[in-house]
Amino acid sequence: MNMHKIAYSVFIAFVASLLTLVSVSALSSSERDAADDEGLDPITLGELAEHDAAESCWKAIHGRVYDITDYVSNHPTDPAVILEWCGREATEGWDNKRPGVPHSARAEGMLEAYLVGRLVDEAGEPVEPEAAARSDEARNGEAADEPALLSPAEDERLHRALLGLPLDGRYRGVFGDGGEMQVNVQFDLRDGRLSNVSYRHLAYRGVDYRTLDDDEDLYPVWVQHQQLAEALEDQPLTAIFALYEPERLAEDLDGYSGATLRGNKVHSAFRDALNRGVYSWP
């Protein structure tokens, strides 16, 4: 059998296989339609938002809600990439695996295995991804729907703003020096108290502290910074001034590392966050 015959046979077999695959798929069609959606549990943005962490990670994608908690560890990227979208409308992340590049059809197929429901608004109507993304920013924000109804006598936000007090909400702020961003903090402010303090970025001279392994020399610095964040948790906002003397908040891990904590950088990032104002409403 010469090369021509082999190649020709493979060609015919290939075309036949494609036709078989396409026709079998068409005949056993599982087209998604509105009726399918009716059978799914309705899930509101509020319910969705409760599952926003690795322990329970739900995402809304193209109007459907998926519980991908079990899949997170199998995702090919760093877990942070996939966890970032937990508890919210994640269509944008799904459609932009890399900027402009959507997830593959195969990934779409795998996603269906994690389907738990369909995304609805408070009235039980299906939510379009864009609308959801908008209201996502204002999740739990009943006030956002009816701010005009409050009288100046009742509007606490107004009172705090007029007095120059920081409003409740989520804040983000950065400290940059020497041409690089070194610290990026995020925290929530509720009734003047800090919560959910975390670092979105922590680096110095190109070293990303958040990705260090525990055997690396600079790892203690990362641990110390985490201790700072933990120490501020549930403290009044004024506690950030303790960052000027970080030894009050963090323990010296070991003398060997010689790690030096720059609490004032973190402090500066906090102040930057406050200057910027509320990033998203609580």
Q: Which of 93, 104, 81 is nearest to 129 (CA)?
A: 93
Question: Applying CB under 8 A, does 46 fall inside the site for other proteins?
Answer: no
Q: Which of 1, 30, 35, 258 binds other proteins (CB under 8 A)?
A: 30
One-letter amino acid at 49 equals A
- Between CA 45 and CA 15 the distance in angstroms is 46
CB atoms within 10 A of CB 113: 10
Closest to other proteins by CB, 116 vs 138, is 116
Please list every residue from 83 through 112 that binds other proteins, using CB under 8 A.
102, 104-106, 108-110, 112
Closest to other proteins by CB, 20 vs 211, is 20
Residues 10 and 16: beta-carbon distance below 8 Å: no
- Between CA 183 and CA 267 the distance in angstroms is 10
Phi then psi for 167, rounded to 5 degrees?
Answer: -80, 155
121-137 in b/e burial notation, b at 16+ Cβ within 10 A? eeeeebbebeebbebbe
Closest to other proteins by CB, 3 vs 123, is 3
Closest to other proteins by CB, 14 vs 244, is 14
Name the minimum Å distance from CB 105 to other proteins.
3
Question: Applying CB under 8 A, does 19 fall inside the site for other proteins?
Answer: no
Closest to other proteins by CB, 17 vs 56, is 17
Name the minimum Å distance from CB 127 to other proteins.
23
- Look at strands 42-44 and 115-120 and give their pairing: parallel
Segment near other proteins (CB under 8 A); pick from 17-25, 158-166, 168-176, 239-247? 17-25
Residues of the shown chain interacting with other proteins in the complex, contacts defined by CB under 8 A: 3-4, 6-8, 10-11, 14, 17-18, 21-22, 24-25, 28-30, 102, 104-106, 108-110, 112
